[in-house]
Amino acid sequence: MNKPENADSFLGIDPSELLVSDVNRLLLHCVSPRPIAFTSTVSPDGIPNLAPFSYFTLGGANPPSVVISPLTGKAGEPKDTLRNIEVTGEFVINVVTYGMRERMNLSSLKYPFGVSEWKDAGFTPVTSDKVAPPRILESPLGMECRLYKIVQHGMGPLSANYVIGEVIYFHVSRSIMPNGVIDPSKIDYLARLGGDWYARMDHNSIFEMPLRKQEE
Ligand SMILES: Cc1cc2nc3c(=O)[nH]c(=O)nc-3n(C[C@H](O)[C@H](O)[C@H](O)COP(=O)(O)O)c2cc1C
């Protein structure tokens, strides 16, 4: 195969030759922008916990299925969110908007296990319909989830813990569905990029492109 002229302008990187922290940094640029799952859980003692996770995607709709990955910490410790879900099997994912950004960031600080981020962050908890963890009133979209499976990949610092959840109930703010359907330009999504970068996805930066239909 021909080697295009500018192929040498790429840096080839073998992840096995990097520090794990540098691999993580690189991945965050490669898989970007990412939505943020502001995840509400409750500890076995009933203490509510809130933390943002951008290692977040959906997997299918039959049944509705989502995944987050609370990484194993730098000292090999599990995050409170993971510990809570392992025991209770329940969580609520709240979509993060631009207006929520500062308080969301604050709630990513490390709190001792059993201490709640809700109070400092100043979000309003609303009782969920099907699960114990509350949802966030300020978030326009919420998903109540029941744990399907936790899949560990690797071991030790920054290894993955894929928490797969089945969405058993949705909450959609009427403010984002002016004509009865969801209008993404009304959501003002916040997305996470690599480094300390974020993206705001409001009506100025999003556009519509209908799916191409195969011609007969
Ligand atoms: C925007 C944002 C996204 C984040 N995404 C993740 C993530 O996907 N996985 C992860 O392990 N930590 C992520 N973090 C860091 C966690 O939120 C942080 O470790 C938090 O303290 C975990 O809380 P917990 O111990 O209460 O679960 C993220 C932080 C921010 C600000």
Q: Which pLDDT does position 115 carry in this prediction?
A: 73
Q: Which domain holds residue 46?
A: 17-201
Q: How many domains does the chain have?
A: 1
C-beta 135 within 6 A of ligand 1: no
Report percent pLDDT > 90 for the chain. Answer: 88
Distance CA 40, CA 158 (A): 21
pLDDT of residue 111 exceeding 90:
no
Distance CA 32, CA 191 (A): 8
Q: Is residue 68 part of a domain?
A: yes
Q: Give the tens place of pLDDT for each residue, 45-72.
A: 999 999 999 999 999 999 999 999 999 9
Distance CA 176, CA 187 (A): 6
C-beta 110 within 6 A of ligand 1: yes
Distance CA 138, CA 190 (A): 14
pLDDT of residue 210 exceeding 90:
yes
pTM for the structure as a whole: 0.96
pLDDT of residue 2 exceeding 90:
no
Instruction: Give the amino acid at 24.
Output: N
Number of other CB atoms surrounding residue 83 within 10 Å = 18
Q: Are 141 and 95 in contact (CB under 8 A)?
A: yes
Q: Which pLDDT does position 118 carry in this prediction?
A: 84
Q: Is residue 209 part of a domain?
A: no
Q: Give me the CATH number covering residue 73.
A: 2.30.110.10
Q: Is residue 184 part of a domain?
A: yes
Ligand 1 pocket test: which of 20, 57, 79, 94 has the largest number of ligand atoms within 8 Å of its C-beta?
79
C-beta 91 within 6 A of ligand 1: no
Q: Is residue 155 part of a domain?
A: yes
